[in-house]
Structure 1
Amino acid sequence: MFDRYGPPEVLRVAELPDPVPGPGEARVRVRAAGVQPFDVGVREGWMRPGPGHFPHQVGQEFSGVVDLLGEGVTGPVPGTAVLGSTMMNGQATHVVVPAANLVVKPPQLSFPAAAALVAAGQTASGALAQLEVTAGDVLLVHGAAGSVGTLAVQLARLAGATVVGTAGPANHDYLRELGAVPVAYGDGLVEAVRAVAPGPVTVALDAAGRGAVAASVALGVPRERIGTIADDKDAAEFGTPVVRAPRSPVRLAEVIALAARGVLTMPLRAYPLAQVAAAHAAVQAGHGRGKVVLIVEPEQP
C-alpha cells in the first residue's frame, strides 16, 4: 500500500484485517498478482480517478484459491483455484470480489501464469474486437513485446491477420517467435514499417505511446482503426479512439482456455511480494518482455 503519491519507494507491505465477503461475494487467498502500467499511474497520482484517501492499496489482477463465500453464493466453492479482476486492492494476501466475476483456473496454468493473463488478456482481446481485426488485415502493434502487445500479436495471428510489431532490437527475435514482423521504434519508424510490411497497414494498436498514434496516421491507417491504450492526449489531437475494453469474465475465460491449450504464451518476470517496489520500478521502466507478477504465496513443489 502507499501513503502518498510518488515513486515506487512509497510502497510498503502492511498488515491489514482480512476482508470479509458480503452477499454475492467470494474471498480469494491470493497466490499471485499482476503489476501493470495502470498501477504505476495510480501510485504516481496522474491516473484518474485515483485514491480518495490514504493509505491506499493497489493492484487490479490476481489468481488464487477461494477460501470464503458470502451470503447467497454457492460457487466457486472454497478450495477452487480462480483468477480475476479487482480495483486497487489486488496486490494483497486476500481479496474480496463478486463471485460471478471469477474465472476457474485450468490446472495446466500456474498461479503466476494465470495472474499474468488477466488484464493483458482482456485488454488485448477487447481492443482487437473494437478495431475489428480480421483475416487479411495488416496490423501494426506498437509496444509488441509488452504484456498487452504479446497477446495482441498472438490473438491477431490466430484471427488470420499479418502483424508488424515495434520493439527494441533485443526483442526482435522474440517477436518473430510470436509470429510478428519486428521493427525498431524511434526515429524513422514510418519508413521502417513501410519497408517490412507486406502491404499497406490497415489497423494499428498503440500499447506504447511516445508518438505511436502520429506514426500510424502518417502510415495512412484509417483513423477510426487506430486504437490506443497508452496516449489519450494524442488520440484527442488526431481524432482516433482510445480503446478501453470493459472487463469481461467471458472474454477472459476464452483467453485462459487458449493459454491452457498452449496456443498463447506470456513470459513472466516474477518478484516476491516483499519486493513490490522493485516490481513497480520494472513496469515503470518499460522495454521489458511479457508480464511482471508478484508472488504472494509460492506454489508448493
Structure 2
Amino acid sequence: MQQHNDGLRAGTSRAVRLESFGGPEELTVQDVPEPQAGDGQIRVRVTAAGLNPMDWFMTSDAATAARFGLSLPSGFGTDYAGVVDQVGAGANGYAVGDRVFGTALSRAIADFIVIDANGNIVSGVAHHTPDGVDDRTAATLSIAGSTAAAALDVLDLGPQDTVLVGGAGGGVGVFAVQLARIAGARVIGTGSPSTAEYLRSLGAEPVAYGDGLAGRVRDLDGGPVTAALDLHGSDTVQVARELGVSDGRICTIAGVVEGVPAANGANAGPDALENIADLVASGRLRVPIAATFPVEDIRTAVELQADRHVRGKVVIDL
C-alpha cells in the first residue's frame, strides 16, 4: 500500500459527528480512529468540505435519516476535496499525492475519509481535481453541480430558449444559471430584490419572486419563456404553466408535481462533474464562496447555510 504521513497525530483524527439526530446544536468535532484504506479503496486527507441543504435535511430527525440509510452515531457532510494519502491494492487510477474531489454520504467533514475506487455516493466517489481549481472550490462541485447538470439535461436548452430559474441564487442555482448560459440560453432568475446584482453577475436577468411573478416576467423584453427550472418547491412550476410552458419543459429538484419531470444528481451524465470542473479550471464557470469556517465552527457554518439566504457556497476548512 502506498501511504503518505502529513504529521497528524498517529492513530486518531477529527470528524464531525452526531450522537443524536437534530439541528446544528447536535454537531460536535470528535477524535475518532483513523480509517485505513483496504483493497480497492483510497484514503483521502480532506482539506475542504462544502455544505449543502441535504446535509442537515438528512440528519434532522431519525425518520428522515433512516430513509438515507443513516444510523447513530453519524457523520456529517457529503461534498469534499483533498489529497490521496493511501492507495489500497487494486485501487487503479489513483496515486498518493493525487488531488481529488467528490462525495462521501454524510461523512465528508473529517480529516480522513475512505473511498471505494469504483464507488457510488454511499461508498464514496473521487474525481481528479484539475489544475486551476483550488480545493475550496472543488469541494463545492459535486452535489450542486451534478444536480444542476441533471436538471439541464432534462430541459435540453439551446440558444433558442429562455429559461425561468426559480431560486437562481442558491447553491444549485449558481451552477444552473451559468450552465444554461453556456448552452446559449437566456436565463431569467428569481430572487429577492437584494440579490439582483448578484444574479446579474451570474448571467441571469433578475426578477423578484412572489405574487405577480408571471406578470413581471411578461414585462421583460426578449420574448416568451420556453423552459423552467424550480429549485425550491413548486411555485415556479405554477408560474411557468401560467406563462404557457409545457410540463415536459419544466423540471423540479425539490418538489413533486404530477406530470413534471424531476431530477437529482444521481441522474447526471457520467462525465458531468469532470466537465464542470474543466469549465471552472478554464474560467468559464465560477463558484462564489460566500463564507469559509474552520471545522471547529461547524455549528455556525450550518446555521448560516440552513438560513437559505446565503449567496454562494459555504465551505469548511480542515
TM-score, normalised to structure 1's length? Answer: 0.91
The match for 1:276 is: 298
| Deviation of the 1:112 alpha carbon | 0.5
| Paired residues of 1:166 and 1:183 also in contact (CA < 8 A) | yes
- Report the Cα distance in structure 2 between the residues aligned to 1:188 and 1:48, rounded to whole angstroms: 40
Q: Secondary structure at the match of 1:56?
A: coil
The match for 2:21 is: 5
Aligned runs of 1:177-256 on 2, under 5 Å?
177-196=201-220, 198-209=222-233, 211-232=235-256, 235-236=257-258, 239-246=259-266, 250-256=271-277
Aligned runs of 1:22-33 on 2, under 5 Å?
22-33=38-49
> Higher helix share goes to which structure?
1
Deviation track 1:59-87 (CA, whole Å, cap 9, x = no partner) reads 11100000001221243201111111121
Higher RCO (CA 8 Å, separation ≥ 6 residues): 1
- Would the alpha carbon gap of residues 11 and 64 (structure 1) be closer, same or farther in structure 2, given more than 3 Å must change? same
The match for 1:299 is: none
- Report the Cα distance in structure 1 between the residues aligned to 2:87 and 2:183, rounded to whole angstroms: 38
- Would the alpha carbon gap of residues 287 and 197 (structure 1) be closer, same or farther in structure 2, given more than 3 Å must change? farther
The yes-or-no answer on 1:68 pairing with 2:86 is: yes
The match for 1:151 is: 175
| Paired residues of 1:143 and 1:166 also in contact (CA < 8 A) | yes
Identity across the alignment (%): 39
- Report the Cα distance in structure 1 between the residues aligned to 2:137 and 2:111, rounded to whole angstroms: 17
| Paired residues of 2:36 and 2:114 also in contact (CA < 8 A) | yes
Q: Secondary structure at the match of 2:139?
A: helix
| Deviation of the 1:249 alpha carbon | 5.7
- Report the Cα distance in structure 1 between the residues aligned to 2:65 and 2:167, rounded to whole angstroms: 20
- Which of 280, 287, 311 is matched with 1:266 structurally? 287
RMSD (Å) for aligned C-alpha atoms: 1.7
- Report the Cα distance in structure 1 between the residues aligned to 2:198 and 2:70, rounded to whole angstroms: 41
Deviation track 1:252-276 (CA, whole Å, cap 9, x = no partner) reads 1110001001110111121111111
AA matched with 1:10:
E
- Which of 63, 76, 86 is matched with 1:58 structurally? 76
Deviates more, 1:155-164 or 1:165-174: 165-174
| Paired residues of 2:168 and 2:190 also in contact (CA < 8 A) | yes
| Deviation of the 1:27 alpha carbon | 0.8
- Which of 105, 113, 131 is matched with 1:87 structurally? 105
Deviates more, 1:128-137 or 1:257-266: 128-137
Structure 1 spans left out of the alignment, 5+ residues: 297-301
- Report the Cα distance in structure 2 between the residues aligned to 1:223 and 1:47, rounded to whole angstroms: 32
> Higher strand share goes to which structure?
2
- Would the alpha carbon gap of residues 92 and 144 (structure 1) be closer, same or farther in structure 2, given more than 3 Å must change? same
| Deviation of the 1:136 alpha carbon | 0.8
Deviation track 1:210-265 (CA, whole Å, cap 9, x = no partner) reads 62222222222111221111223xx24xx212212326662111100010011101
- Report the Cα distance in structure 1 between the residues aligned to 2:32 and 2:270, rounded to whole angstroms: 28
Q: Secondary structure at the match of 2:18?
A: coil
AA matched with 1:240:
V
Deviation track 1:141-183 (CA, whole Å, cap 9, x = no partner) reads 1111112111111111111101000111221112112221100
| Deviation of the 1:48 alpha carbon | 6.0
Deviation track 1:36-78 (CA, whole Å, cap 9, x = no partner) reads 0111211213466235421101211100000001221243201
- Would the alpha carbon gap of residues 47 and 3 (structure 1) be closer, same or farther in structure 2, given more than 3 Å must change? closer
| Deviation of the 1:23 alpha carbon | 2.3
- Would the alpha carbon gap of residues 186 and 47 (structure 1) be closer, same or farther in structure 2, given more than 3 Å must change? farther
Q: Number of residue pairs matched?
A: 292
Q: Secondary structure at the match of 2:49?
A: strand
Structure 2 spans left out of the alignment, 5+ residues: 1-16, 119-124
| Paired residues of 1:190 and 1:215 also in contact (CA < 8 A) | yes
- Would the alpha carbon gap of residues 187 and 48 (structure 1) be closer, same or farther in structure 2, given more than 3 Å must change? farther
The yes-or-no answer on 1:170 pairing with 2:194 is: yes
